[in-house]
Amino acid sequence: MNLRKSLPSFLVCSLFLLSFSANAELSIQITQGSDNPIPIAVVPFSWQGNGVLSEDISQIVMNDLEQVGEFSPLSRSNMLSMPSEEQEVFYSDWRILAQDYLLVGKIDRTPGSQLVQVQYEFFDINREIKLAGEVLTGSVTQLRDIAHEISNVVFEQVTGTRGAFTSEILYVVAEYMNPERTNFRLEKADYDGQRAQILLESVEPIMSPSWSPTGRDVAYVSFETELPRIYIQNIATGDRRQITNYPNLNSSPEWSPDGTKLAMVLSKDGSPDIYVQDLTTNQLIRVTDHPLIDTEPSWTADSKSIIFMSERTGQPQIYQIELGASSFNVERLTYDCFQCLNAKFLPDGVNLVHVRRETRQDPNYQIAVLNIETLRVITLTNTSLDESPSIAPNGSMIMYATKFNGRGVLDAVSIDGAVRFRLPSTQGDVREPAWSPFLN
């Protein structure tokens, strides 16, 4: 049975408003795949219209599935047949090729409009059943979105986990022009680095992008007044407002999961401490109070507690505090590292992703996960300048910033460490990835 569905119209609007694209397009490289990937055949979708389509939907789906590592897509040249709908599918063709799953589809012009409709069907070869199928309608410029939607369905059907292929990333690019000038850009792109758009450009630093939980707004720090101040910008319209102007440091904005508050770091009272600003009433609440550095706030999923880094015991460690609790009522979460920084919980609320420097003698900063119940630590990276971990909305992967050949790049690693991919930049240093929430 086919389900009819069209992509939300706001997508069309945002594509129109932000149609200028960044000149530093990122392209993905898989640096380590899974040991035991699931074989899947993604047949090229047939196209009934005139001319050539700008995007190859089945290729995008293949790339999506390969990047997250659980899948090994079959090469097109090895296919024995190229079905585009259920009647043309012979399970034996795919069983001979040892495939577990099959995706087929076809693309047509919608009669009497500029839209296209994409029909796809997804099969389990071993059980000889159709698992999913629908018709997605959109403009030609939305073919990528449609492809990522299909990847989401395939991923969820096979793994049981919601796919994150329609999610996006924010990041900062610093491009060195000359000794007096570095250009900073806040950019947004698809999770795979495609369709990069510039949200803000400045000759002063831009830092710490944070998504609102709806995915409509971004909070960040800009030095455009020659002082670090926090701004909120609507992604679709570009409308922005400065929301802090406190003396000294204003940094590290982090939206609460319920969208009502912004955690931040202010040093107006002497040293950097964690504060929370209510976005409706603008009321500011002080959360921590310590003469040494407290910074890098992140929220627990219930929006009731904040995780942060403090050097109150001499070196950076991770702590947790409940909003409204006394500033003395702080729980320490990390012990067995020389420095543990920039922590945030995975969606399970038990595994704590963080930046870790193991010992004083070893000045390497790596991404690790601490299970706060078993206290087991898994270090996920083996480079030395890894920072700014950001978690995919389905909790399957972590994107972080590192250095490659002296340049800032974004890498991603699955939470079990098995799969890695890289988004290299063609220009400038790329840093501070922020993975979006689910956007639909």
Partner 1 sequence: MTKQSIQTIKMGLMAISLFALVACSSTSDTEESAMDGEASSSSGSSNNGSARTNPGSTSGQLTQEEIRAQNALRQTVFYFDFDIAEFKPADRETLSFHARDLAANSSKRIRLEGHGDERGTREYNLALGERRANSVLNYLIVNGASRSQIEVVSYGEEQPAQAGQSDNAYSRNRRVEVISR
Of 398-437, which residues contact partner 1 (CB under 8 A)? 403, 406, 431-432
Of 133-192, which residues contact partner 1 (CB under 8 A)? 174, 176, 182
Number of residues this chain uses to bind partner 1 (CB under 8 A): 40
Task: Report in angstroms how near the CB of residue 249 gets to partner 1 at its nearest.
Answer: 5
Q: From CA 40, how far away is CA 78, in angstroms rounded?
A: 12
Residue among 200, 267, 204 nearest 240 (CA): 200
- Stretch binding partner 1 (CB under 8 A), from 2-10, 91-99, 268-276, 277-285: 268-276
Residue 351 forms beta bridges with which residues?
371
- Asked whether position 291 contacts partner 1 by CB under 8 A, the answer is yes
- Stretch binding partner 1 (CB under 8 A), from 47-55, 158-166, 262-270, 345-353: 262-270
Cβ-contact 107, 117 below 8 angstroms: yes
- Stretch binding partner 1 (CB under 8 A), from 18-26, 43-51, 153-161, 269-277: 269-277
Letter for the amino acid at 188?
K
Beta strands 4-6; 129-138: pairing state: parallel
Of 358-397, which residues contact partner 1 (CB under 8 A)? 363, 365, 385, 387-388
Residue reference for tokens 């999770």: 191
Of 198-227, which residues contact partner 1 (CB under 8 A)? 205, 207-208, 223, 226-227
- Asked whether position 271 contacts partner 1 by CB under 8 A, the answer is yes
Q: From CA 298, how far away is CA 263, in angstroms rounded?
A: 8
Q: Is the dihedral of CA 307, 310, 312, 315 positive or negative?
A: positive
- Stretch binding partner 1 (CB under 8 A), from 28-36, 146-154, 287-295, 370-378: 287-295
- Strand residues in 77-222 grouped as ranges (E): 101-109, 116-124, 129-138, 168-178, 181-190, 197-202, 206-211, 217-222
Helix (H) / strand (E) element for 158: namely helix 143-159
Beta strands 116-124; 129-138: pairing state: antiparallel
Task: Report in angstroms how near the CB of residue 417 gets to partner 1 at its nearest.
Answer: 21
By CB atoms closer than 10 A (0-12, 13-18, 19+), residue 406 is exposed
Site mask for partner 1 (CB under 8 A), range 223-252, x = bound: x--xxx-------------------xx-xx
Of 292-351, which residues contact partner 1 (CB under 8 A)? 292-293, 295-296, 309, 316, 339, 341-342
User: How many residues does the structure list for the chain?
Assistant: 440
Which positions lie near partner 1, rule CB under 8 A?
Answer: 174, 176, 182, 205, 207-208, 223, 226-228, 248-249, 251-252, 265, 267, 270-272, 291-293, 295-296, 309, 316, 339, 341-342, 355, 357, 363, 365, 385, 387-388, 403, 406, 431-432
